[in-house]
Amino acid sequence: MPADTRTRHVAVVVNTASRTGAAALRLVEGELHRAGVEAVDVHRVDSGAQLPGALAEAVGAEPDMVLVGGGDGTIGCAASVLAHTGTTLGVLPLGTANDFARTLEIPSALPAAVDTLLSGKVVDIDLGRVNGSVFLNVASLGLSVAVTRRLTPRLKRRLGQLAYPAATLAAYRHHRPFAARLELGDGSVLELEDLMQVAVGNGRHYGGGLTVSPTASIDDHLLDVYAIGKGRLRDHVSVARLLRSGHLIEHDRVHHVTTRSVRVVTDEPLDVNLDGELAAMTPATFEVDRNALHVVVPQHSRAAQLD
């Protein structure tokens, strides 16, 4: 499909350290030229340390759109840089889980993803923030942190999507329950004990295709907060079966609320997992950054429907 006037100048930033990044860079550039994009600026990133500088350079050239290829960690860094700048982000799903791309309904096949980004619509979405740091999908503490520590690049390369259940099973065997106080934006407080996990969702998908809740949306200006209590093994198995659909929020071992902000306080400081990166600690304040980012989604996408 020929590029329209909105995409005559495109910057491409690809994390070649991501699962499929190295092989994808030349393919993306070729697809853009075949589509008739007049100017394509390519920025190759070989490590996470290079990413902020490459993004700043890409934005500085004032392209019509910045296409960013990598996993959710890479896309999250890009979202942090592009938030409230007016620059449009296009997501190239090159990671293991690609949950943000799944939320936006971006095709997983690279040629189809590029075509979607050139022919799609631009929408505004919310970002989540934890003590100021950005997250796209879910920020969490507890079991998910232990999973993240076990979810090494080597395991991802070896098992792909199966790395997530493998890491979860290993983490579950050694998990210690914890207590937390949730101070909600409306002034109410939840005192919870014997918890497995607390999760705060901004988007819809996380963890390799799991769903935050059946009604979660990335533009509803709300956070979906759930806390999973400790139970018997069969309780945890029944919760796990509901993770993909998001109906775990209806389980009697799960506390669920929606709010615009929540402060989480634990007896001792705990790490907070932001889209697979350990980037904050409790006590932590989670907030919605409303309409923070312009992104491209397919014309038929249900990802962002609010005005």
Which percentage of the chain shows pLDDT scores above 90?
55
pLDDT on residue 2: 47
CA–CA separation, 176 vs 181, rounded Å?
17
What number of CA atoms fall less than 13 Å from residue 65's CA on the CB side? Answer: 30
Q: Do domains 5-119 and 133-290 have the same CATH topology?
A: no
For position 278, what pLDDT does the model report? 87
pLDDT score of 141: 94
Domain ranges of the chain: 5-119, 133-290
State the residue for tokens 């006037």.
Answer: 5
Active-site residues, by number, are 277
Predicted pLDDT at 305: 65
β partners of residue 27 = none
> Is 3.40.366.30 the CATH classification of the domain at 5-119?
no
pLDDT for 94 equals 87
φ, ψ at 122 (rounded to 5°): -95, 130
d(CA 212, CA 146) in angstroms, rounded, equals 19
Q: Which pLDDT does position 33 carry in this prediction?
A: 86
Whether residue 165 has a cis bond before it, omega within 30° of 0: no
Considering just the CA atoms, what is the radius of gyration of the chain in Å?
Answer: 19
Do residues 144 and 305 touch, judged by C-beta distance below 8 A? no
Res 203: pLDDT: 92
CATH class of 133-290: mainly beta
What residues in the chain have per-residue pLDDT under 70?
1-6, 18-20, 161, 171, 305-307
Residue 238, token pair as written in the block: 């029944």
Query: CA 158 to CA 130: how far, in whole Å?
Result: 31
Residue-level pLDDT at 155? 75
